[in-house]
Amino acid sequence: MMTYSKPMKKLRVANRAQMAMVTVDVERLVGEEHAARAIWELTGQFDLSLFAEPIQSAAGEAGRPAWDPRLLVSVWLYAYSQGIGSAREIERQMAYEPGLEWLCGLEVINHHTLSDFRVQHGAALDELFVQMLAVLDQTGAIGLERVMHDGTKVKAQASGGSFRREKTLRERLEQARQLVAELKAVETEGESRTRQQAACERAARERVGRLEEALTELEREKRRTRSRVKDKRVSVSDPESRVMKQSDGGFAPSYNVQISTDARASVVVGVGVSQEASDHGELMPALERVVRNLGTQPRQVVADGGYATRDNIARTGEAGMELIAPVRDATAKSAGALRRAGIDWRLARRASSTTRRATHSSARRARGCATGPSTVSMECCTRFTRRTARTAGAARTGAAAARRSGTGDDACRSIRPSHGWLRTSSACRPSRRGRSIDSAAKWRSFPMRGSKPRSG
């Protein structure tokens, strides 16, 4: 009996070992409506003379030609439009990204050139931003009928442990200068330096520069806050940063970035960076930036509650602008603080009114005759302590430790009848965001419900 085997399938596979010469038509890499073409046409309408002034190379003389400022500006604008802010990432994508390939003509620009261009032309880039807003204003895209303004905290490249006082900065600066002198002495003796020694000398010089910059910033900050801060500190890593509260409740070295946007066109019309932790005083400088960029002021300004201060309301009204912002409610703010502490704010509000009435009654009786101190309900104190322990996990842990030590509930509460305050030890008080609480018992001003005065 004869058997027949099935024929092998004929398949086409990819041969990645081959080499090919490819003809590329650069103009066909991107379509006519591609963003790279629009950005290239837009930059052709700008005055880029400020970017060309530092260029030293000239035609007919020795030296390498410099990159065209229009090309570098277009590359950065296109990269920002694609969400790319790293010079190294731009250099990597120039090898395969069609928009960057079209802009650069299949050339690759070194990331050092891109980064240095962005750092060294800060004033020229600001002027370019104003020119771009002018172009949009001429086309009618920006009306400034309503401007939305807000701020955000951007973390600096520094940690909280990098902040030092003036004495420490001067000591470390002297040590760094001595190290630089020692490294230079080795070079003058005629000994050949290795790459590691050269890197150490460069790092020591950079450290001296950072410490000198930190001392300069410290002197500037001391003059600015002479009456408010006695012992000022600055960061060695980023001297211009300041410790600010973050959205998650923590604190970190940051910058306060203020952004103003036209509501109709969704175009940023003003950007500013501040060292102030609060937004209260940042609204009017932001509006001045908008006027300086576009030559006209907005009709309406929409901001959050952090800008709704008496001074901002008065100054925007005098300037003919309408400020739309929610006014903070003191009751809601105190309710939030009580809620974070594990306290029922409704009970606290009722107890506060009861205590105020009791205090006023005691004061009136004290003017007429001597009376005994008011008392506080032990039942209310016990109920409050148990409620606080239930609402915080850290409090339950501390209470368990107190019971094991034998102190029990007596260590968690005591009464001060003359004021109606509750004294809570560290075993019962909840910790906020995992932070440890001082072990010493402290008085917490919390009026108890049911505390009524009684005569002696």
Structural domain boundaries, residue 342: 333-444
User: Would the pLDDT of 430 be above 50?
Assistant: no
* Shared-domain flag, residues 37 and 132: yes
Question: What is the bridge-based pairing of β-strands 146-155 and 300-302?
Answer: parallel
Question: Per residue, what are the HEC states of 273-325?
Answer: EECCCCCHHHHHHHHHHHHHHHCCCCCEEECCHHHCCHHHHHHHHHCCCEEEC
Q: Which of 197, 217, 235 is the last residue of a domain?
A: 235
User: Would the pLDDT of 332 be above 80?
Assistant: no
- Candidates 256, 255, 249; CA nearest to 283 is 256
Residue 394 forms part of a structural domain:
yes
Per-residue pLDDT at 197: 75
Residue 307 forms part of a structural domain:
yes
Q: What is the mean pLDDT of residues 266-293?
A: 90
User: Would the pLDDT of 294 be above 60?
Assistant: yes
Which segment of 112-116, 192-196, 313-317, 350-354 scores lowest on mean pLDDT? 350-354
Res. 229 pLDDT band, cuts 50 70 90: low
Largest distance between two CA atoms of the chain: 129
Q: What is the mean pLDDT of residues 248-269?
A: 89
Using CA atoms, how far apart are residues 128 and 180, in angstroms rounded to an integer?
40
User: Would the pLDDT of 297 be above 50?
Assistant: yes
Q: What would the two tokens of residue 206 be?
A: 């950079």
Res. 417 pLDDT band, cuts 50 70 90: very low
The overall pTM is greater than 0.85: no
Q: Which of 235, 267, 285 is the last residue of a domain?
A: 235
What phi and psi, each to the nearest 5 degrees, are found at residue 210?
Answer: -65, -40
pLDDT digits (tens, 9 = 90+) for 118-139: 888 888 888 888 888 887 777 7
Q: At what angle do helices 393-405 and 378-391 cross, to 10 degrees?
A: 120
Length of the chain: 456
Per-residue pLDDT at 106: 92
Res. 286 pLDDT band, cuts 50 70 90: very high
Using CA atoms, how far apart are residues 237 and 207, in angstroms rounded to an integer?
9
* Shared-domain flag, residues 343 and 406: yes
Which segment of 269-283, 321-335, 363-377 scores lowest on mean pLDDT? 363-377
Q: Which of 216, 235, 254 is the last residue of a domain?
A: 235
Residue 316 forms part of a structural domain:
yes
> Which residues are CB-contacts of 189 (< 8 A; sequence separation ≥ 6)?
none
Residue 6 forms part of a structural domain:
no
Res. 456 pLDDT band, cuts 50 70 90: very low
* Shared-domain flag, residues 249 and 212: no
Is the pLDDT higher at 266 or at 87?
A: 87
Tell me how crowded residue 321 is: count the other CB atoms within 10 A of its CB.
15
> Which residues are CB-contacts of 441 (< 8 A; sequence separation ≥ 6)?
423, 424, 425, 426
Residue 402 forms part of a structural domain:
yes
- Candidates 128, 136, 148; CA nearest to 263 is 148
Is the pLDDT higher at 326 or at 195?
A: 326
What phi and psi, each to the nearest 5 degrees, are found at residue 288?
Answer: -65, -35
Using CA atoms, how far apart are residues 48 and 124, in angstroms rounded to an integer?
8
Cα angle 176, 178, 179 (rounded to 5 degrees) comes to: 65
pLDDT digits (tens, 9 = 90+) for 142-181: 888 899 999 999 998 888 888 888 888 888 888 888 888 8
Q: What is the mean pLDDT of residues 367-377?
A: 42
* Shared-domain flag, residues 70 and 112: yes
Domain count within the chain: 4
Q: What is the mean pLDDT of residues 214-230?
A: 74
Task: Specify the DSSP element, H or E, that contains 242.
Answer: strand 242-245
* Shared-domain flag, residues 220 and 272: no
* Shared-domain flag, residues 408 and 384: yes
* Shared-domain flag, residues 80 and 98: yes
Per-residue pLDDT at 128: 84
Q: How many CA atoms lie within 13 A of 158 on its CB side?
A: 25
Per-residue pLDDT at 282: 92
Residue 97 forms part of a structural domain:
yes
User: Would the pLDDT of 345 be above 50?
Assistant: yes
Which DSSP symbol is given to 217? H
Residue 55 forms part of a structural domain:
no
* Shared-domain flag, residues 249 and 231: no
Residue 57 forms part of a structural domain:
no
* Shared-domain flag, residues 389 and 415: yes
Question: What is the bridge-based pairing of β-strands 421-424 and 442-444?
Answer: antiparallel
User: Would the pLDDT of 98 be above 60?
Assistant: yes
Res. 21 pLDDT band, cuts 50 70 90: confident
Per-residue pLDDT at 2: 64
Q: What is the mean pLDDT of residues 400-429?
A: 42
* Shared-domain flag, residues 214 and 251: no
Is the pLDDT higher at 319 or at 1?
A: 319
* Shared-domain flag, residues 257 and 293: yes
* Shared-domain flag, residues 396 and 415: yes
